């Protein structure tokens, strides 16, 4: 692996860990935008899962008491049902289409959240709708480590507070991504090279998560929200650019 590739792996790990420590999700949406420049999806996706689990595990003890676990269980039920389907789809992901699809998601999802500036308290569907969103998030988590996208948008529409949303994001993502990682390992998708890359990325992941957790405590809800959306959007721009450039 070239020096540039190692630098990009570390940069993706640091930024992904920071965003995960900041809001409880987002390792995939941030790190994939960097890692897919130098890694194929077969390596980038399991690496995202490993780093996501590490980052969220490292920040969980300090934030656990602020979580409202009564909100998360419908998401967990749906998510655990969706993960196996997402893992099965991984073998059929074309690299260029995968990059473009992730890039478009990173453009649409942050923009939608940014434009939704007014507080909402959307109650449609109750816990059944929460479980359906969790199911879709589970599929994305198993496929690309992107379990946080839909639940994050949905929780914002529900009008939950900062700590409530953080509890849903982090508990749901940790459970879904850990399950996806176990399934991928059982199917032989976690190669020896992924383990080596994970060892390289661990220090940057943990450092980024620590910095993100500290920022979470001092930034206002709007400030850290806008910061994360900006990072995700820039990652999406880069991915769409490179995927269209190689088409």
Calculate mean pLDDT across residues 125-148: 86
**Residues belonging to the chain:** 247
Q: How confident is the model at residue 40 (pLDDT cuts 50, 70, 90)?
A: confident
Look at residue 240 and give its three-state secondary structure: helix
Cα→Cα distances 20→52, 158, 228, Å? 7, 21, 10
Share of the chain above pLDDT 70, in %: 91
CB 216 within 8 A of CB 20: no
**In the prediction, which pLDDT does 119 show?**
56
Place 246 in a pLDDT band, splitting at 50, 70 and 90. low
Highest mean pLDDT among 74-78, 119-123, 159-163: 74-78
Q: Are the beta carbons of 81 and 135 closer than 8 angstroms?
A: yes
Query: For 67-112, what is each residue's pLDDT tens digit?
Result: 777 888 899 999 999 999 888 887 776 766 776 877 787 788 778 7
Whether 173 has a pLDDT exceeding 90, the answer reads no
Q: Give the residue with greater pLDDT, 96 vs 36.
A: 36
- Predicted pLDDT of residue 95: 61
More confident residue, 80 or 64: 80
Q: State the pTM of this model.
A: 0.78
Nearest alpha carbon to residue 86 among 177, 204, 17: 177
The predicted structure's pLDDT at residue 54? 92
Per-residue model confidence (pLDDT) at position 120: 58
Q: Average model confidence (pLDDT) for the chain?
A: 82
Q: What angle do CA 95, 98, 100 make, to 5 degrees?
A: 110
User: What pLDDT score was predicted for residue 247?
Assistant: 53
């Amino acid at each position: 692996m070239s020096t540039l590739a190692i630098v990009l792996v570390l940069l993706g790990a640091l930024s992904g860990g920071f965003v995960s420590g900041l809001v409880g999700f987002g390792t995939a949406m941030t790190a994939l935008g960097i890692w897919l420049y130098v890694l194929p999806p077969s390596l980038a996706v399991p690496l995202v899962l490993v780093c996501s689990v590490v980052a969220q595990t490292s920040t969980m003890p300090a934030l656990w008491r602020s979580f409202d676990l009564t909100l998360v269980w419908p998401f967990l039920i749906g998510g655990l049902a969706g993960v196996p389907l997402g893992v099965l789809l991984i073998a059929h992901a074309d690299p260029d289409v995968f990059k473009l699809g992730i890039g478009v998601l990173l453009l649409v999802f942050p923009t939608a959240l940014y434009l939704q500036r007014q507080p909402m308290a959307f109650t449609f569907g109750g816990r059944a709708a929460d479980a359906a969103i969790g199911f879709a998030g589970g599929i994305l988590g198993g496929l690309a480590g992107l379990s946080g996208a839909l639940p994050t948008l949905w929780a914002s529409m529900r009008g939950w507070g900062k700590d409530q949303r953080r509890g849903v994001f982090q508990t749901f993502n940790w459970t879904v991504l850990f399950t996806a990682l176990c399934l991928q390992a059982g199917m032989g998708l976690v190669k020896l090279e992924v383990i080596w890359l994970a060892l390289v990325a661990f220090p940057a992941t943990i450092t980024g998560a620590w910095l993100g957790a500290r920022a979470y405590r001092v930034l206002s809800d709007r400030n850290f929200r806008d910061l994360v959306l900006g990072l995700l959007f820039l990652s999406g721009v880069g991915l769409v650019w490179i995927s269209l450039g190689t088409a």
